[in-house]
Amino acid sequence: MFPIQDDAPRRGIPIATYGLILINVFVFFIEISLPPAQLEQVVHLFGVIPARFTTSLAGLYEPFPGFKYITLLTAMFLHGGWVHIFGNMWTLWIFGDNVEDRMGSGRFLLFYLLCGVAASVFHIYLHPYSTVPVIGASGAISGVLGAYYALFPLARIVVMIPIFIFPFFFELPAVLYLAWWFSLQVFSGTLSIVHGPLAGPVAWWAHVGGFVTGLVLHRLFCLGRRCRVWKDECMPWGVQSFFDERINH
């Protein structure tokens, strides 16, 4: 199921969300302008390689001591292809604006980066000796999905399922769509541990770690935020809409 749009309201311009999308796209165009050999070097240098953190393997170059910790940030701005960048940025476009609206732009940016770092740490913990670089914004965006799950459970998500060559569109409550998405990550992550490469070159457990981090920590980034109409802005959208309707009528 591929998300197309949601119906959760927002009040302001999501500056941080738009900025993150622009930065990721800008970096991606730099990536595709590089010769393949140089691009591979960039990915290995700035991507998260778990073995850098858990072993002292020769050949894992670091320009200076402690550089590996910087990769926890740089890795989330690199992508492995058009499908990778499009899928991540489209998801951030749909879900990021509403979460940013609840938190405020500055807090949302910090929240996003924290979820991305936590996702990489989770992946390192589950695959401590891997020498394969992990790149992409998926972990950070998974944290945004975790926050959205808690804040907008009754929002409606329009999803598309391709059946043969025909796209089918229908609506789901966010709580069901995101529960399905999270279950898929856990299932695929389990396969990646049991069967290794057969599960595909995706850091599934980074997605799980990011989602859980966003779900657990989102309230901290909403503290002190107030709704212009009724109560605390961190209240789930469906509940807030229920009371707004009662107030308006």
- Pick from 156-165, 195-204, 235-244: least confident: 235-244
Query: Which residue type is seen at 107?
Result: R
Vertex 116 angle, CA 112 and 120, to 5°: 170
Whether 16 and 106 have beta carbons less than 8 Å apart is answered as yes
CATH of 2-248, one of 1.20.1540.10, 1.10.260.40, 1.20.120.330, 1.20.1740.10: 1.20.1540.10
Q: pTM (2 decimals)?
A: 0.86
Q: Residue 57: is its pLDDT beyond 70?
A: no
Mean pLDDT across 49-66: 77
Q: Residue 238: is its pLDDT beyond 50?
A: no
Whether 38 and 66 have beta carbons less than 8 Å apart is answered as no
pLDDT per residue as tens digits for the range 8-19: 888 889 999 999
Dihedral (Cα; 214, 185, 84, 97), 10-degree rounding: -30
- Pick from 123-127, 163-167, 182-186: least confident: 163-167
Q: Could you tell me the CA-to-CA distances from 159 to 2, 5, 8, 46, 198 in Å, in that order?
A: 5, 7, 15, 34, 27
pLDDT per residue as tens digits for the range 22-45: 999 999 999 999 999 999 999 999
The pLDDT assigned to 204 comes to: 86
pLDDT per residue as tens digits for the range 63-90: 777 889 999 999 999 999 999 999 999 9
